[in-house]
Amino acid sequence: MLNQASLAVLIHEQAKVWGSKTALSYRDYATSTWKTISWLQFSDTVACVSNALLELGVGEQENIGVFTQNKPEGVCVDFGTYGIRAVSIPFYATSSEAQIQYMINDASVRFVFVGEQYQYDTAFRVLKMCPTLERLIIFDKGVEKNPQDQVSMYWDEFLQLGKSKAHAAEVARRAAAVEPDDLVNILYTSGTTGVSKGVTLTYRMYAAAIPANDKVMDLSENDVIMCFLPFTHVFERAWSYWCLSRGCQLAINLRPQDIQMTLREVHPTCMAAVPRFWEKVYSGVQEKIASSSAVQRRLMLDALAVGKRYNVDYKLKGLQPPLPLKLRYKFYEKTIIALLKKTLGLENANFFPTAGSFIPPAIEEFVHSCGIKMTAGYGMTETTATVSCDWHHATKTIGSVGRVLDGIDISFGENNEILLRGETITKQYYRKAEITAASYDDEGWFHTGDCGYIKDGELYLTDRIKDLFKTSNGKYISPQALESKFVVDRYIDEVAIIADEHKFVSALVIPDYNLLEQWARDNAIAFDNREQLCSNPLVNKMVMDRIATLQQEFAHYEQVKRITLLPEPFSMERGELTNTLKIKRPVIAKNYKAQIDAMYVD
């Protein structure tokens, strides 16, 4: 049953219901085992956090910073903060000094919780440049403090401040005083097009979003949720709060690079993911098929073909598959498909919400063909995550982002821009009155910057207005449409389309270096390093030929004419990627100006 208690008291209310049932689990890397935290333990730690924050003098609606990778401690800080009517501001664990300094100063933060050594070192270095910052609280007791540090304390020391629950009455008073329009979070956007903006999320927004999602998707207290995306991301945050409201167990993945291992250890039923995760799974399966014997390859391809017919052509459309197809699918479901799911750690799969960027139709079709229920969706930080998603008891179409949730009004403006109204939509950017005013029209519609349309009740995305490129010939190009088409190729890891103010479309391509190196060796192409590999004309021709095949459906003026293979991937350190791994096009254009200019030399 969905518990609709305020986030200020949700964990305590759930502890009354679920008691010793596991609420959180995490991997202890020292012992290579998973440790569990019951609802009662979770509630007690949250209460300690609330009391400790009051001991430090935190005021109502004061901003608290949380600078960490996914950790149980971070979740406890969030709910402990809500319990005293304060505001939690999560920072991405990979944020730079400049980003951390900006956010701390923008939000006048006094206290910042830090996860491990990188976060501590980064926060400590900006201490002198942040006039309001008074203290750092360190989660990982293995962090080595700077010898000059006089302001930090470790997590255990912090919890000790609230151990006696001396402020329990004040905690209860503040939790009861929470108003619907009080701030819960300020989430700073990743800033692909300019300065980062603080999106304000309120209790009213979460209270509207959680039951709206619950109404259209099947989640229960029996689900085990792998928390893979950063809690800083609104998708993971809002999704996790819904899961906790349902009494689910959150299995917290501490290290993103270990997700394949932790999936096999936990065997979750659900996980919020971005398309990039499934693109990697797809590439891995394609490589497995390509390297298998002829008999194995034929069986795997047939299993996927049968899975597509059964799940995509019939089940998603609400149709009953014919008996021969059903029997063939049941055979593969117990053999090849079962083995694939077990290899991935997804044999207990319920459903997997997927959003954050455009989902290539080939990837979505593949996941459903494997018998895994991908629930496609669309949302933004400004909309408390979900605007639309695949409703579990309605028909679904590959390529759509589902049906708009109840309580959200949708309209379409100039260039088919998606306009939204409703209680899940933010009312303001933090301390950004001009940007806030520019985001709404006189009728109160929030302008998303995304273009789309509705067909048969389902929402489809077409372009991102700010991402549209205009060639020097006056033709408009949608880079995301091309990029999403190309990344399904197993030799292509990432791609950035170049077209703005140029006479034709080109692309910077990050290849899958391991596969490309193997292809070069198989074709007797000598190379000493990646630079030589990526500049080899035969290697470039092979990749360009594959792109030419993939882009046949696009108009001639939309098609990529030239490519450059890059010997290094795009990097957050160089400012080329956001914290959510979206490319920053202006930075790409600047950092690779020489390579781009070379593609336009006649």
**Mean of pLDDT over the chain:** 94
Q: What is the pLDDT of residue 480?
A: 84
Are 275-464 and 468-599 the same fold in CATH? Answer: no
CATH of 468-599, one of 3.40.640.10, 3.30.300.30, 3.60.15.10, 3.40.30.10: 3.30.300.30
Q: For 128-186, what is each residue's pLDDT tens digit?
A: 999 999 999 999 999 999 999 999 999 999 999 999 999 999 999 999 999 999 999 99
Q: Does domain 10-178+217-265 have CATH number 3.40.50.12780?
A: yes
- Is the predicted pLDDT of residue 191 greater than 60, yes or no? no
**Structural domain spans, the chain:** 10-178+217-265, 275-464, 468-599
- Is the predicted pLDDT of residue 563 greater than 60, yes or no? yes
∠ CA 547-571-475, nearest 5°, is: 45
- Is the predicted pLDDT of residue 19 greater than 90, yes or no? yes
Q: What is the pLDDT of residue 194?
A: 56
CB-based burial label for 134 (10 Å; 0-12, 13-18, 19+): middle
Rounded to an integer, the average pLDDT of 514-534 is: 95
How many other C-beta atoms lie within 10 A of the C-beta of residue 269?
Answer: 21
Q: What is the CATH number of domain 275-464?
A: 3.40.50.12780
* Helical H segments across 127-167, by residue range: 155-162
- Is the predicted pLDDT of residue 500 greater than 90, yes or no? no
Q: For 336-389, what is each residue's pLDDT tens digit?
A: 999 999 999 999 999 999 998 889 899 999 999 999 999 999 999 999 999 999
* Cα gap 27→34, rounded to integer Å: 4
Q: For 403-420, what is each residue's pLDDT tens digit?
A: 999 999 999 999 899 999
- The tokens 């207290």 sit on which residue? 221
Q: For 33-74, what is each residue's pLDDT tens digit?
A: 999 999 999 999 999 999 999 999 999 999 999 999 999 999
- pLDDT confidence bin for 216, thresholds 50/70/90: very high
- Is the predicted pLDDT of residue 192 greater than 90, yes or no? no
* Cα gap 209→438, rounded to integer Å: 24
